[in-house]
Amino acid sequence: MPKYRYTAVDPAGKLVRGSVDAANAALVADQLHGQGRLLLNADEVKGAGGLSGVLNLELKFESGLSKPALAHATRELSIMLQAGQDIDHALRFLVESAENKRVRKIMEQLRNKVRGGKSLAAALAEHPRVFSRLYVSLVRAGEAGGELADALADLANVLERESKLTATIMSAMTYPALLVLASIGTISMLLIYVLPQFTPIFEQAGAKLPRPTRILIGLGDLVRDDGQWILLAVLLVFLLTNRMMQRPRPRMAVEKLILHLPIAGPLMRRSQAARFTRTLGTLLRNGVSLVTALAIGRGVLGNLVATQVVDKAATDVKGGRRLAASLDAGHFFPLQTIHLIALGEETGRLAEMTLRAAEIHDDQVQQSVQRLVSLLVPVITVLMGIAVAGIVASLLLAMLSLNDLAL
């Protein structure tokens, strides 16, 4: 039987680590749940390599669902449960009504596991690429408190909000991306096809092309003859950079640099604050303890600086310090976040205030993205104009030099 190393939160709110023998990660979660512990992470301890490892390898290819598809399925499941249907009938409805084959397959697998005696949270935990730790934890809390329908409704709200924000950002960045592609195509056409037409004319006249024109023609020849190698080099640099960014120290250095940039820095702070407060508020509203919510909330952050701040805050909260004061000491989250969390702690409405903070930061992120796009478009247009004007100027310079020869 495989062995799993796990990280969990005990009833006292402390992180505990250990190992346990179990057939899969879902059973690890069930065992720990019986001990009053909440599973955060479970990794299988790999056995010996070689031929035995290859023979015992179990290949599992599972692709996740898009957020809109997952949000739609979660919303429908919540509605069915709120209407008084049991979980088996609700899952059967999703299997029969799902238009997406992937959704239908996953819901059918969940229904079979639930009918086999597993809890919905345990069944969800067997699909870690589809259902996040936040999703599983909220469902487990909803099942424990008898409010599964409300927990699923909260999850649907979270997923729908994130999907809307992502769609807004993608839509806003479409025009600048097309403008960049058009600029590259126009400049490449001028360098590769237009400028080289002047070379035979000057050769016949026995004249020498002006230096700027020769430089641009050489650049066009380089792109035409060695373009594939240039693309390969760019791809290699991208892959090496991506691999380097997976290491904590280089990634931390880059993220700290971004935080000091005029527009990107506040945008990153607000986006991370929105994700953190939305997760924290949703968990607290469903009865999850603050320390456990912080342990889960750190997992949704995509910034190492923010993760360190939340880790320090979780330690301080265990020691009796207020969350707002600890987060403020980290100097990462916006002051508005700190003030709303402090207000929530003072009034006993922490879940409500953190969710309010998430809504405010979502709106701020959308405004920041629109402001960024409004700056990018003219900047790209001006740069494209300068590049095209430089190429045209080199053409005019070459034509004027021909006129001088004729005189």
Structure confidence at residue 212 (pLDDT): 79
**In sequence order, what E strands does 22-161 have?**
38-44
Structure tokens, 337 = 């976040």
pLDDT for residue 183 is more than 60: yes
**Burial of residue 18 (number of CB atoms within 10 Å: 0-12, 13-18, 19+):** exposed
Structure tokens, 260 = 């000091």
Neighbours of 323 (CB within 10 A): 24
pLDDT for residue 32 is more than 70: yes
Q: Contact 8/40 with Cβ under 8 angstroms?
A: yes
- Crossing angle of helices 335-347/350-406, nearest 10°? 170
Amino acid identity, position 349: R
Q: Contact 159/67 with Cβ under 8 angstroms?
A: yes
Q: Contact 28/22 with Cβ under 8 angstroms?
A: yes
- The alpha-carbon radius of gyration of the chain (Å, integer) is 29
Q: Contact 270/358 with Cβ under 8 angstroms?
A: no
Q: What pLDDT, in 10s, does the model give residues 190-247?
A: 788 877 777 777 777 666 777 877 788 888 888 788 878 888 998 999 899 888 888 8
Token match 């346990």: residue? 20
Cα end-to-end distance, the chain, whole Å: 92
Amino acid identity, position 369: V
The confidence band for 25, taking pLDDT boundaries of 50, 70 and 90, is low
SS3 state of residue 42: strand
Q: Residue 312, Cα to own-chain centre: how many angstroms? A: 23
Q: Residue 71, Cα to own-chain centre: how many angstroms? A: 16
Structure tokens, 324 = 């707002």
**Distant-in-sequence, close-in-space partners of 122: CB < 8 Å, separation ≥ 6:** 26, 27, 29, 30, 113
**Distant-in-sequence, close-in-space partners of 53: CB < 8 Å, separation ≥ 6:** 46, 47
Question: Which of 69-73, 349-353, 393-397 has the weakest average pLDDT?
Answer: 393-397
pLDDT for residue 50 is more than 60: no
Q: Contact 357/337 with Cβ under 8 angstroms?
A: yes
Cα distance between residue 328 and residue 145, in whole Å = 33
Say which residue, 37 or 389, is predicted with more confidence.
389
Q: Contact 139/124 with Cβ under 8 angstroms?
A: yes
| Model pTM score | 0.65
Phi, psi of 18, deg, nearest 5: -175, -170
Say which residue, 57 or 248, is predicted with more confidence.
248
Structure confidence at residue 44 (pLDDT): 66
Residues, the chain: 407
Cα distance between residue 308 and residue 275, in whole Å = 15
Over residues 149-157, the mean pLDDT reads 87
DSSP states of 146-166 as a string? T-HHHHHHHHHHHHHHHHHHH
pLDDT for residue 287 is more than 70: yes
Structure confidence at residue 228 (pLDDT): 83
Phi, psi of 303, deg, nearest 5: -125, 125
Q: Residue 175, Cα to own-chain centre: how many angstroms? A: 21
Cα distance between residue 298 and residue 41, in whole Å = 13
Plot region of 117 (φ>0 → left; ψ -120 to 50 → alpha; else → beta):
left
Residue environment code for 44-67, b if the CB has 16+ CB neighbours within 10 A, otherwise e: eeeeeeeeeeeeeeeeeeeeebeb
Cα distance between residue 68 and residue 52, in whole Å = 41
The confidence band for 340, taking pLDDT boundaries of 50, 70 and 90, is very high
Q: Contact 324/342 with Cβ under 8 angstroms?
A: yes
| Residue percentage of the chain with pLDDT more than 70 | 87
